[in-house]
Chains A and B, each alone.
Chain A
Amino acid sequence: MSEPLLSVRDLKTQFFTEDGTVRAVDGISFDVHEGEIVGLVGESGAGKSVATSSILRLVDSPGEIVGGEIEFKGETIFGVEEGDDGELRPRDEMLTEEEMRKRIRGREIAIIFQDPMESLNPVFTVGGQLREFIEINRDLGAAEAKEEAIDMLREVGIPAPESRYDEYPHQFSGGMRQRVLIAMALACQPDLIIADEPTTALDVTVEGEILEMVTDLQEKYDTSFIWVTHDMSVVAEICDRVNVMYLGEIIEQAEVDDLFYDTKHPYTSALLDSMPRPDRTVDELRPIQGVMPEAIDPPAGCRFHSRCPEAREVCREVHPEPRELSEEGGAPHTAACVKHDAFDVGYDESPPIDTRATGGFSAGFTETGGEAE
């Protein structure tokens, strides 16, 4: 395969709070190739959004990227080296804050957020905001930028774009606003768009339209996407490859079909099992026990072991790094679970930890309720 467009290696982002260090993103690695839609999926609190803001270097204090490499089209967005005094310091070729602001954000990597009302300024017209963005980022004159803005609105399926150009965000429906944001993201024809749960707040019918439109536009402009979501159905529909995150780590990485039909990590299977299905009646849902622990004090060993139905004693002790598990010649498929032979840490001989025998729902809840304080 060709050079990846974006490559993230061992990225670590931490938040230094009064209660301790929150390891929100803890050593994740993934690639995005040209023209690809890569999914980043997980429950809330898994670190998906922190991971995407890290890529744009938008992590605010008390958060900080503390390690790893982010390369985008051969340039270093983030990289550290060890200085003479043993301290880590940014490498020289790392892009400066000004370069990030002027060249990368918006122009090369655009981002679409979940709540379109919060991303648009309510006191300016929709067209005006779009025009301003194009004017600044593409060095066009006001008139040209306006024309371009109207073209973009038409492109994303807004009817009568000339008259809607002068309307305010509150006059647009939720789906329309999200279309405006997509227009804004596409306006500078970036190579990569990060979509952070862009359809979560929308109705299924509108979500369907937007996903369809994104697929069409993606083919037309050949843009790559990182699609952040918690919804496995959206993943199934739109993504080419998927990264599943749990508590700051990527625990499984596979092509979309393999992820659903050849699931390698118990968390991914549990997530798929816990969803009610629209296409058939499920008599009893099989929820994942308990809730995700706090990232401030992650469980030792495998982070999922406290909720995992297949957990054994060894899972408490060994922390699995993702390993390549695909058969020879198959598409890459990595997972971080010691039950696979590739790990060889004595999973088969290890006695099981019975997470279920502790009493159904209440067990998980009591336990985590205790942690919450």
Chain B
Amino acid sequence: MTEVGPPESDPEALLQVRDLCKYFDNESGLLAGVQLDDEFPYVSRSTSDVRAVDGVNFDIKQGETLGLVGESGCGKSTLARTVLRLLEPTSGSVYFQGEDLASLSGEPLRRMRKDMQMIFQDPQSSLDPRMKVGPIVEEPMKAHGMLDEEGREARAKELLEKVGLDPQHYNRYPHAFSGGQRQRVNLARALSVNPDFIVCDEPVSALDVSIQAQVLNTMEELQEEFDLTYLFIAHDLSVIRHISDRVAVMYLGNIVELADKEELFENPKHPYTRALLDAIPVPDPRSGGRTALLSGDVPSPIDPPSGCRFRTRCPEVIQPDEYDMTEDAWRNVVEFQRAVERRAFEETDPDILRSRYFEDAVPSGDAGTLLDEALGHIERDEFEDAEQILVERFADQSVCATTTPAYEVPSDLTDGRHYSACHLRRDEALASAVDEPAVDDAARPGAGATEADD
């Protein structure tokens, strides 16, 4: 594998994540995956993995905040838990301060945990309702054998003050606190063992906006004071824009774009990032609302699309080389193909469909012939055959489907590096990692299935 893509290979980095994968068994239990067949041997066993995190690379430097953003179900939380080794990675490595967490276990791993902490989304359920706040904050110190009893109490009180609570609240139960205050208790607990790195999994999304701002400000102050490094997960791009130094955008288990905050928000190079940015509502009635919304649902991570995973919803899928359609005609073909796939219409008359989907531009030549064939199937109500033609001959032929994109593009606004997993960037790319799918396969055991189709 070449030194491209998100790996910034900075030896100084606090955390380096390399080709990290986490798959889950789709089914569990004794008979999981067992299927009955008509022929001998009558029983077969197939496993379908949910590829929650599939080949993720990134670095986090000391003292920075990396924002991780994506729609729900894209694997953000799984990634966070796998990075901390709360989940066993399927493959890949996580280097924390130079040591590979994926290969550690037992006592050495437990000792490493002291330097990595996590804050969870729900401030209510992450605090034991039967423990007082003081002991909650002290517990990690106890687990790691820090200080004596008095020392721990003094430190807990000091930390409560640091996160903006009254040290006298030491003897209160979590229920006596509001949501924002509970999240501060979580912060104090995470800080108690003096960690270098904190993973924050949607720490403010359960809070009201006014409280959200208070907690975000406190987190920034603490970062400065204790020289903390954050991996900050959120689905809210406004929050990410406020708190991050660099931002990674995740889609269906992959990181599709990674760049400095300003660069990513002002100069996004991946169509998915652009679609996400367009979809954020702006608190301003004169902003004109959102534009160009994505259509369709996120595909299943059990059988993700080959090549670029975003291609099934991407508004800018690249035309296969074998055709020579105009840009408009190609867009119409894509739109029609997706409509057929989703069974979005019931009309079978080819003329009406033509005027609905191909009014401004009709593909000619080979593409035109194929389209006629597909329309013919639809007329005879054979939607599946039509879908097969459209998908196999158009969608699956695109470079987006055949090759997994990974490019490093020049940053226009900042000095940082800019990674974009989109074939549209192939001409301007400084470096790429796409020409070696075979090497890629070998490096990612278990990921071969999709590439094998290509």
Binding site for B on A (CB under 8 A): 43-44, 159-160, 163, 173-176, 203-209, 211-212, 230-237, 256-257, 259-261, 270-272, 274-279, 281-282, 284-288, 291, 360-362, 364-366, 368-369, 372-373
Contacts and interface: CB of A to CB of B under 8 A. Distances in A.
7 contacts: A176-B297, A204-B235, A212-B290, A278-B281, A284-B217, A287-B214, A365-B164
Contact of B209 (A43, A259, A278, A372): A43
B290 A237 contact: yes
Given A159-B344, A281-B265, A366-B165, A233 B281 contact: yes
A276 B238 CA distance: 5
Interface of B: 71-72, 161, 164-166, 169, 172, 176-178, 180-181, 184, 208-214, 216-218, 235-239, 241-242, 261-262, 265, 275-277, 279-287, 289-290, 293-295, 297, 342-344
B283 A277 contact: yes
Nearest to A173: B297
A291 B180 contact: yes
B176 A369 contact: yes
Contacts of B184: 365
A178 B98 CA distance: 47
Contacts of B241: 276-278, 281
Contacts of B282: 233, 236, 277-279
B168 to A, nearest CB: 8
- The majority secondary structure among interface residues of chain A is helix
Given A260-B283, A270-B210, A291-B180, 10 more contacts: A256-B285, A260-B284, A275-B283, A276-B238, A278-B277, A287-B212, A362-B161, A365-B164, A365-B166, A368-B181
A287 B279 contact: no
Contacts of A284: 217
A208 B281 contact: yes
Nearest to A172: B297
B213 A209 contact: no
B176 to A, nearest CB: 5
Given A260-B285, A276-B242, A362-B164, A230 B237 contact: no
Given A159-B344, A260-B285, A274 B290 contact: no
Given A160-B343, A232-B283, A369-B165, A275 B176 contact: no
Given A285-B216, A361-B214, A278 B237 contact: yes
Contacts of A235: 283
Closest 10 CB pairs of A and B: A233-B281, A287-B213, A276-B242, A288-B210, A160-B343, A361-B164, A285-B213, A278-B280, A276-B238, A274-B213
Contacts of B218: 361
Contacts of A287: 210-214, 217
A160 B339 CA distance: 11
Contacts of B280: 204, 233, 278-279
B423 to A, nearest CB: 22
A236 B178 contact: no
A285 B285 contact: no
Nearest to B291: A208
A217 B297 CA distance: 21
B178 A373 contact: no
A278 B238 contact: yes
A159 B342 contact: yes
A49 to B, nearest CB: 14
A209 to B, nearest CB: 6
A159 B210 CA distance: 39
Max chain B C-beta neighbours (<10 A), residue from A43, A233, A365: A365
Given A209-B293, A276-B241, A279-B282, A372 B178 contact: yes
A372 B283 CA distance: 32
Nearest to B211: A291
Contacts of A270: 210
Nearest to B204: A276
A160 B296 CA distance: 13
Nearest to A280: B241
Nearest to B216: A285
Nearest to A201: B72
A206 B281 CA distance: 12
Contacts of A206: 71
Contact of B287 (A160, A176, A279): A279
B209 A271 contact: yes
Given A281-B242, A372-B177, A271 B210 contact: yes
A212 B293 contact: yes
A291 B239 CA distance: 20
B283 A233 contact: yes
Nearest to B342: A159
Given A231-B281, A285-B242, A43 B290 contact: no
A231 B216 CA distance: 18
A172 to B, nearest CB: 10
Contacts of B342: 159-160
Given A278-B241, A287-B217, A203 B209 contact: no
Contact of B208 (A43, A176, A281, A282): A43
